[in-house]
Amino acid sequence: MGIEGIGARVARKEDKRFLTGLGRYVDDMVVPGMKHAIFVRSPHAHAAIRSVDTKAAKAMPGVIGVLTGAELKNDGIGNLICGWMIHSKDGTPMKMGAYSALATDRVRYVGEAVAVVVAETRGQARDAAEAVEIDYEEMPAVTDAVEALEKGAPQLHPEAENNLIYDWEIGDASAVDQALDGAAHVTRMKLVNNRLVPNAMEPRAALGHYDMAEDHFTLWTTSQNPHVARLVMSAFYNVAPENKLRVIAPDVGGGFGSKIYVYPEEIVCLWASKKTGVPVKWVADRTESFLTDAHGRDHHTEVSLGFDADNRMVALKVDTIANFGGYMSLFSSCVPTYLYATLLSGQYAIPAIHCNVRAVYTNTAPVDAYRGAGRPEATYLLERTVETAARELGVSPAELRRKNFIREFPYQTPVIMNYDAGDYEASLDAAMREADYAGFPARRDEAKKRGKLRGIGMSCYIEACGIAPSQAVGSLGAGVGLWESAEVRVNAAGTIEVLTGSHSHGQGHETTFAQVVASRFGVPLEQVSIVHGDTDKVQMGMGTYGSRSGAVGASAIVKALDKVEAKAKKIAAHLLEADESDIVIENGEAKVAGTDRTLPWFQVALAAYTAHNLPEGMEPGLKEGAFYDPTNFTFPAGCYIAEVEVDPETGHTDVVQFVASDDFGNIINPLIVEGQVHGGLAQGIGQALLEGCHYDPASGQLVTASYMDYTMPRAGDLPSFQVSTTNTPCPGNPLGVKGCGEAGAIGSPPAIINAITDAIGNNDLSMPATPQKVWAAMRRNQ
Amino acid sequence: MSSGELEIGVEPTESFLLTTHYSLLTTSLIDLEEENPMHQTTYHRASSVSEAVKLLNDADDGKYVAGGQTLIPTMKQRLAAPSDLVDLRHIADLKGIEVSGDKVKIGAAATHAEVAENAALAKACPAFCHLAAHIGDPHVRHMGTVGGSIANNDPAADYPAALLALAATVHTNKREISADDFFVDLFETALEDDEIITAVSLTVPEKAGYGKFPNPASRYALTGVFVARRADGVRAAVTGAGENGVFRAEAIEKALSSSFDASALDGVTIPADGLMTDIHASAEYRANLIAVMAKRAVQAANG
Ligand SMILES: Cc1cc2nc3c(=O)[nH]c(=O)nc-3n(C[C@H](O)[C@H](O)[C@H](O)COP(=O)(O)OP(=O)(O)OC[C@H]3O[C@@H](n4cnc5c(N)ncnc54)[C@H](O)[C@@H]3O)c2cc1C
């Protein structure tokens, strides 16, 4: 293993272009004749559209076309789909309302696209968009999911009676009820998981180009999974058949889930390009991002956790209402079900678990997966409940957790998941050591002298990454398989290109994937290039989300490398006149084990392409592809400990210490892993303390539609993180890796809230724990 | 430049300056033309107060612009669409900060950064510099101006509290207005439409301090209290909290008049009546913050 192989702290190759402003994003793409689109959006949360008059707008300077939903429909463009079928407990399929890329007869959230203007300049398109006359008949709106289920609530879709999309359950309800009845202690809580706006640094963008000569479409888009976008647009939206549609996702400035989905704007830019005869570019402004990017979280949950007299968990009962917004986004349905309820066992041996989930339409932006997707919601409720139980039982939160840890693997939970490996106690011990847990009382007393309330809080999370075994998810309703693909091309002079179906939008694949290849053959990192994000270059792939790129994407690369290595060994054996089984490839050369006979790597490659002297019957070339379908999820887990100081006069919280001990299995690049954890922690602490998406309940207007009202975490809001890892290698994939992209966002919110409630001595606190909320909670003590 | 693009009402020779100037306001002039996030407008650079008044009165629906840190975002959101912008920042009479004896005069076009970093002012009234140093971020502080801030009279802006507590005087091209009369209501001042603030002046206080609790998102004042002890008594002004904008807190002034010490405020409670409630803070919470920030302001004043 060379210095730049698996396990090396290599600085990211891609950062040079990002940090010097040389990254190329969709908005940097310029196509000859390109024009600009601006969307006309609903100012109302809920209204009937009586008419759309585009006449005045069409007459405005520079305007090339003004297009409406009616025309979209006429041209046979299909409604947006949801790619995961969930059945309610009564056996009926989920009730999905029609979702057109441009609204035709009704709008259901502020910001919904109704028409599009294409003009010479963005400014002209903007001016003309204001001249599109839409006659709305306003209707009462509902933004809160609990209220949307109540009698008499405004109804959004005729297909979904009482705004209920599905009423789903998992687990054994009667076993849970029985166990809770017989429990020595039951901790009950009502918890809200606050709605978040993803806020990727790069706003969404799309450039659609219809080439009349070839009858072919190209879409440059901010996507985490260009192949999935192409598949969905071809198979369901009738934009173009797959062989006539190229989707390119170039450099993408962050996604966090929000760029998984195929959005109306992408479909419309392609369709509008053919319609108007010009390439059409749209770039969201920040307000559009707030209004229309798929939001995250937004759960209301009631939870009961029962213990026996020995403080062992006996049952967990969860009842969740999940806000889906005005329409079902592409993967919305699986988030509060199979990405959430299946993780409710956490790190604990809980014999009986039942979870009921109601998915609900409201007059808000669609909600879908956002960094962690379901697992943060599960972790927040479980870890707040466990911490609360420890307080109620008068035992140490650490020891209550320790007592209930799962210790034998594989472990079958009552909610589908089968944990393959882990050592939860190792993470707990490492975190407690790093945090100097035992020294906390002294720190609390010292803070008190300074007039500060210091608190400590813990969270032991588990999550599921490496999404996912195709057959398993298919049986649960997924419309796609969740394997990954790779092709390894060794060029004639030995450099290597890897084409991957994973997509990098901040994860550092160009470095980690190259390290995997460099390790295998001992070639320098700069001789390895990673190609991704273009359906014309890369074979079908499934993209990046759910921390799957290492566990699934890199596994596909390993499979392809196996094939390349096997062939290279055959060639080397032939040239070195040795037995194939005696050939080893390392340090950039093939050698006969135990001898000094070697052949440089490039000569092996060259031999494959000159084909002057290959083994009998061997095809020329050195290029292999592979598809890897995982056999199980992977299960990263860890322990986070937060310490906070609260100003009793203002309620302001300072996070003064944050320790993260994660088990990600084997690690390809510790530097990148730490970066991923830092980013995740910033987002998780953001959710816990700062970020709260707020719709005005009466008007349905998004009040937090800019950074003046939506608080993003800033460096000054965060401490210097103390991160470390423990390692139980994942037995399910060749690299033994688990995934690290979401853990920080999953594990940190409950640690922060547990620390604040510890500091102030009041457990009645919701996220984001703003100064005013913390102050109000302290006042309720008095 | 083709029709439909931004018209620029300055000499071509000034276009370089204009580009750099606007690059701070938005992205760059080039981008501005392509993107044109705001309605078309005509930019004028005035070199004297009288020229500025004339340019404004000649315009259909003109507006003065200074640092643009409030006006330009509003235009980009298309909530304002002035036909003409008259830039005041290059008028010599509006520039500079003078401190002589116990008199301070700050030109309306002085930026927050210039105020924050002025050495003479820091000696005379450090609290004023401290306040300016905590407005927004470096970008905002290097563009935004004193005149623009008080003309705008945002209920969460910082300067209004200082001016009111220091019994400052607002100088315009027409008259002098006491701070007591200047701040009328939310985003409303005593200014007439074409009236230009030229400077603010104040007498150096014996002691002064500012306590600010920033809005977690915008970093404007969620509540800010400026206290000043002057020969003629103690004044305390509150920003960020009042339903009608900046106001004087009598309970605090009274308590501090007997003893200008934080302990004098122990037990002083502020009623929530007349205070704002929004998603960031209830009136009750703001009432609490007024008392707490007043204490911290006094502590700062007593250094
Ligand atoms: C991100 C951000 C954060 C901010 N944070 C804070 C903060 O923490 N505290 C705070 O107090 N402010 C804050 N501000 C506001 C900032 O201080 C602005 O600079 C100020 O409010 C307006 O000043 P300006 O010079 O930019 O005025 P402009 O935006 O140019 O003008 C504002 C208004 O004043 C008028 N005007 C300008 N100059 C004059 C004059 N001389 N005479 C008459 N009318 C005039 C204009 O016509 C316009 O109506 C923030 C702004 C931003 C963008």
pLDDT band at A759 (very low <50, low <70, confident <90, very high): very high
A654 in reach of chain B (CB within 8 A): no
Residue B14 is predicted with a pLDDT of: 34
CA of A636 to the centre of ligand 1 (A): 49
Task: Give the nearest chain B residue to A648 (CA atoms).
Answer: B292
In terms of DSSP bridges, do strands A164-171 and A352-361 run parallel, antiparallel, or are they unpaired?
antiparallel
Q: Which two tokens stand for residue A729?
A: 């290698």
Closest CA to A548 of A294, A742, A744, A331: A742
> Does the pLDDT value for residue A6 go beyond 50?
yes
pLDDT band at A262 (very low <50, low <70, confident <90, very high): very high
B141 with B222, same domain?
A: yes
B71 with B105, same domain?
A: no
How many structural domains is chain A composed of?
3
Q: Write the ipTM.
A: 0.94
Averaged pLDDT of chain A: 97
How many structural domains is chain B composed of?
2
Name, in order, each residue with C-beta under 8 angstroms of B109's C-beta and a sequence gap of 6 or more: B66, B88, B89, B90, B91, B94, B95, B145, B146, B147
B239 with B128, same domain?
A: yes
A366 with A271, same domain?
A: no
Q: Is the dihedral of CA A217, A221, A226, A229 positive or negative?
A: negative
From residue B190, give the alpha-carbon distance in Å to each of B53, B95, B183. Answer: 17, 22, 7
> Does the pLDDT value for residue B9 go beyond 50?
no
pLDDT band at A4 (very low <50, low <70, confident <90, very high): confident
B243 with B284, same domain?
A: yes
Q: Is B70 in the pocket of ligand 1 (CB under 6 A)?
A: yes
CA geometry: angle at A320 spanning A317 and A321, to 5°?
A: 160
The owner of tokens 């499979």 is: A559
Amino acid letter, residue A441? P
CB of A95 closer than 8 Å to CB of A46: no
pLDDT band at A3 (very low <50, low <70, confident <90, very high): low
CA of B198 to the centre of ligand 1 (A): 15
What is the residue range of A242's domain? 31-139+201-254+259-292
- CA separation for the pair A451, A447 (Å, rounded): 6
Mean pLDDT over residues A428-453, rounded? 98
> Does the pLDDT value for residue B28 go beyond 70?
no
Task: Give which of A699, A772, A774 to mutate to test B binding, by max B Cβ within 10 Å.
Answer: A772
Q: What is the share, in percent, of chain A residues with pLDDT greater than 90? A: 99
> Does the pLDDT value for residue B110 go beyond 50?
yes
pLDDT band at A781 (very low <50, low <70, confident <90, very high): confident
Exposed/middle/buried for A595, CB within 10 Å: 0-12, 13-18, 19+? exposed
> Does the pLDDT value for residue A1 go beyond 80?
no
pLDDT band at B2 (very low <50, low <70, confident <90, very high): very low
For the residues of A416-463, what is the DSSP string, one character each? S-EE----HHHHHHHHHHHTTGGGHHHHHHHHHHTT-EEEEEEEEEE-
For the residues of A495-521, what is the DSSP string, one character each? -EEEEESS--SSS-HHHHHHHHHHHHH
> Does the pLDDT value for residue B297 go beyond 60?
yes
Residue B38 is predicted with a pLDDT of: 85
Averaged pLDDT of chain B: 90
A121 contacts on B by Cβ (under 8 Å): 4-5, 33-36
From residue A600, give the alpha-carbon distance in Å to each of A1, A575, A592, A624, A715. Answer: 17, 11, 12, 20, 48
B157 with B183, same domain?
A: yes
Check which CATH number belongs to the domain holding B116 and give it. Answer: 3.30.465.10
Nearest ligand 1 atom, CA B191: 43
Whether A63 is in a domain gets the answer yes
B10 with B39, same domain?
A: yes
Residue B116 is predicted with a pLDDT of: 98
Which of A122, A709, A776 comes nearest B217 by C-beta?
A709
Mean pLDDT over residues A459-486, rounded? 94
B70 with B168, same domain?
A: no
> Does the pLDDT value for residue A752 go beyond 90?
yes
What is the residue range of B61's domain? 5-87
Closest CA to A312 of A419, A409, A179, A418: A179
A287 with A390, same domain?
A: no
The whole-angstrom distance between A376's CA and the closest CA on chain B is: 23
Residue A709 is predicted with a pLDDT of: 96
Q: Is the dihedral of CA A473, A474, A478, A481 positive or negative?
A: positive
Check which CATH number belongs to the domain holding A225 and give it. Answer: 3.90.1170.50
> Does the pLDDT value for residue A371 go beyond 50?
yes
Q: Among A628, A652, A687, give the residue marking a domain's end.
A: A628
Q: How many CB atoms lie within 10 A of CB B85?
A: 23
A336 with A248, same domain?
A: no
Whether A2 is in a domain gets the answer no
Least trusted range by pLDDT, from A408-412, A611-615, B4-8, B230-234: B4-8
Residue B27 is predicted with a pLDDT of: 36
Residues 312-351 of A with CB under 8 A from B: none
Closest CA to A599 of A613, A611, A614, A584: A584
pLDDT tens digits, A572-624: 999 999 999 999 999 999 999 999 999 999 999 999 999 999 999 999 999 99
Three-state SS string across chain B, please? Answer: CCCCCCEECCCHHHHHHHHHHHHHHCCCHHHHHHHCCCCCCEEEECCCHHHHHHHHHHCCCEEEECCCCCHHHHHHCCCCCCCEEEECCCCHHHCCEEEECCEEEEECCCEHHHHHHCHHHHHHCHHHHHHHHCCCCHHHHHHCEHHHHHHHCCCCCCHHHHHHHCCCEEEECCCEEEHHHHEEECCEECCCCCCCEEEEEEECCCEEEEEEEECCCCCCEEEEEEEEEECCEEEEEEECCECCCCEECHHHHHHHHHCCCHHHHCCCCCCCCCECCCCCCCHHHHHHHHHHHHHHHHHHHHC
Residue B34 is predicted with a pLDDT of: 56
Mean pLDDT over residues A24-50, rounded? 97
Check which CATH number belongs to the domain holding B26 and give it. Answer: 3.30.43.10
Residue B280 is predicted with a pLDDT of: 96
Whether A133 is in a domain gets the answer yes
pLDDT tens digits, A204-230: 999 999 999 999 999 999 999 999 999
Mean pLDDT over residues A471-490, rounded? 95
Question: A189 φ, ψ to 5°?
Answer: -140, 155
Mean pLDDT over residues A676-699, rounded? 98
- CA separation for the pair B197, B158 (Å, rounded): 17
Amino acid letter, residue A732? G
A400 with A545, same domain?
A: no
Residue B21 is predicted with a pLDDT of: 33
B281 contacts on A by Cβ (under 8 Å): 772
Residue B39 is predicted with a pLDDT of: 86
B213 in reach of chain A (CB within 8 A): yes
